[in-house]
Chains A and B, each alone.
Chain A
Amino acid sequence: MSRPDTGSDFQPRAAQRGRTAKIFRWIFFGATTLAIVVLAVLLLDVLRTGATHVSWRFIVSYPSRFPESAGILVGLLGSLWTLGLTALLSFPLGIATAIWLEEYAPSGWLSRTIQMNIANLASVPSVVYGILGLALFVQWMNLGRSILAGSLTLTLLILPVIIISSQEAIRSVPKSIRLAAFALGATRWQTVSRQVFPAAIPGILTGTILALSRAVGETAPLILIGAAAYVPFAPVSPMDEFTVLPIQIFNWISRPQPQFHQIAAAGIIVLLIVLLSFNLAAILLRNHYSKR
């Protein structure tokens, strides 16, 4: 026999709470749908315009004055070079900084100040990094308008994001795991390198690769340091001049001939494929490491 609720302090009002829950479910569903629909329309538009122009010839051809023979090769290689170098520079530095901040830095005003500055740097507009890169790498360090100068600039740009996301991944490793390692006589370095870091790898990878895929789309800072719109040769070393996919695409779109607009759409498709492969790699790596 159940006790009647009458006269008690509880007023369950289950029907009304159920209605509220339903309303919010629809709001969230609507927001998601809206985002997906906008994305789908954009994608469809690009695909309709550009898909027929994506071909092997388009991918391996150099830029040209004639739209029918123009290709994306230089921009694609420029992007891959810059990203590879940026990854090489920013991953070790960013992850090491995150480990130091989380596992070694004494908590106090110093680490709080550093922390705050990193958070601020993450929200600085990318053009500002371009100005810094121009002054620091192109002119002062005399690296010229090279891939290296571009990669260093992009490294500065995504470093704060990499540090912050790696810190979050490291922080999400339970404290009890560190204590277990210490209780077995592990040093701090053994604890960090053999327990904390491996456990944090999936999260670190997700964050760092997403940061890198942000760098793929960056145009402004690279224009500032002088990545050229027209580069007739494919880069073969870090000191070469270069252009990247977004700049190449922008260059085509700003031409008057409509055929160039179509190959710009084809360029966007290539850029999207590069981006999607990055995100796919992030997912695969994360699954690989979190299974172990």
Chain B
Amino acid sequence: MSAGVIEASAAPVIETRDLSVLYGTTRAVKGVSIEIDANRVVAFIGPSGCGKSTLLRCFNRMNDLVPGANIEGEARYRGLNLYGPDVDPIEVRRRIGMVFQKPNPFPKSIFENVAFGARINGFRGSMADLVEKSLRQAALWDEVKDRLDASAMALSGGQQQRLCIARALAIEPDVLLMDEPTSALDPIATQKIEDLIYDLKREYTIVIVTHNMQQAARVSDRTAFLYMGDVIEYGPTDQIFTNPRETRTEEYITGRFG
């Protein structure tokens, strides 16, 4: 289907062609070609070490910061070659936000954690409003509204992770990359984050890495199954979970992986 002028959103937000990532000489991502459409939630699933985080980091050029990491092939964001010579990674990361696999709040107050990204990106509006809005979106506001000046390090692991989500939302990115955002959360907080993802879909495009099959099935529109650096299968989530084409996909999602 070719994208018409009016249906600009039909063009993929993220598109890779034959994308590989090498750590030294070992190939962690092997020639992946994938398209992610606007206002969709895409889930990356696959066994530990298969390259999900590595692939995710290509989309906001965080792999630039990993010593020894090399990228081959092509990655595009709304048609723009992410690894083109005149692309500023700073600008890329401001548009494509990220929540890390491990919570990594700044050793500062809760307020400052959320405000930091907005501040460095020249936000001119009301910081208090922005912080409140972001914390509400990340389902953390009620727990911290009375102690915004307290250190973020004093929060529980799950609260820290939601703070990191709030922090990423505060710069109002276009795409949100989430690397196992709920792996440290209890079922209630997980539910809140999943609701959040559902809400955010209207404005954002989201890529989420998860080890939780039910979660992938619940929140995502499309699912990619990765195995040893390859995308084995990529398609509508319903189809992947009810009628996978590849036996390896089926074995993985049914827990019979050998």
Q: Do A and B bind each other?
A: yes
Q: Dominant SS at the A interface?
A: helix
Residues of B within 8 A of A194 (CB): 116, 120
Q: Are B108 and A184 in contact (CB under 8 A)?
A: no
Across-interface contacts of A107 in B (CB, < 8 A): 67
Bound Cα distance A178, B104 (Å): 10
Contact B90 A185 (CB under 8 A): yes
A183's partner among B60, B102, B121 (CB-CB below 8 A) is B60
Q: What 0/1 readout, one digit per residue, does chain B (104-148) give for beta carbons within 8 Å of chain A?
A: 111110000000110011000000000000000000000000000
B98 within 8 A of A: yes
Given that A179-B62, A179-B65, A180-B164 are contacting pairs, would A185 and B120 also be in contact in the complex, using a CB cutoff of 8 Å? yes
For the complex formed, measure the closest distance between the CB of A179 and the CB atoms of chain B, giving whole angstroms: 7
A188 to B, closest residue via Cβ: B90
Say if the beta carbon of A177 comes within 8 Å of chain B.
yes
Known: A185-B90, A194-B120. A180 touches B171 (CB 8 A): no
Q: Are A185 and B91 in contact (CB under 8 A)?
A: yes
Are A183 and B91 touching (Cβ within 8 A)? no
Per-position contact with A for B58-69: 1 when CB-CB < 8 Å, else 0? 001010010100
Cβ contact within 8 Å between A292 and B65: no
Do A177 and B106 form a contact, CB below 8 Å, given A183-B62, A183-B93, A186-B120?
yes
Complex Cα distance, B164 from A190, in Å, reads 18
A180 neighbours in B (Cβ, 8 Å): 100, 104-106, 164, 167
How far apart sit A194 and B94, CA to CA, in the bound complex (Å)?
Answer: 17
CB distance from A199 to the nearest CB of B (A): 5
- Interface positions, chain A 180-210, Cβ under 8 Å from B, are 180-187, 190, 194-195, 198-199
Residue ID in chain B nearest A178 by CB atoms: B65
Residues 29-73 of chain B, each 1 if its beta carbon lies under 8 Å from chain A, else 0: 000000000000000000000000000000010100101000000
Chain A residues within 8 Å of B120, by CB = 184-187, 190, 194
The chain A residue with its CB closest to the CB of B167 is A184
A6 sits at the interface (CB 8 A)? no
Residues of B within 8 A of A292 (CB): 108, 151
For residue B181, CB closer than 8 A to chain A, the reply is no
Residue of A nearest to B89 (CB): A182
A127 CA to B104 CA, complexed, in Å: 47
- B11–chain A nearest beta-carbon distance, Å: 24
Q: Does A174 contact B (CB under 8 A)?
A: yes
Chain A: minimal CB distance from B103 (Å):
9
Measured between beta carbons, the chain A residues less than 8 angstroms from B116 are: 181, 184, 186, 194-195
Contacting residues, chain B, for A237 (C-beta < 8 A): none
Most buried by A among B98, B102, B107: B107
Complex-state Cα separation, A292 to B106, whole angstroms: 11
Residue in B94, B105, B108, B151 whose CB lies within 8 Å of A185: B94
Q: Apart from A179-B65, A184-B120, list 9 A-B contacts with CB within 8 A.
A: A177-B107, A180-B167, A183-B97, A183-B168, A184-B94, A184-B116, A184-B168, A184-B171, A185-B121
A→B interface (CB under 8 Å): 107, 174, 176-187, 190, 194-195, 198-199, 292
7 closest pairs, A vs B, by CB?
A185-B94, A184-B117, A176-B104, A183-B98, A185-B93, A180-B104, A190-B120
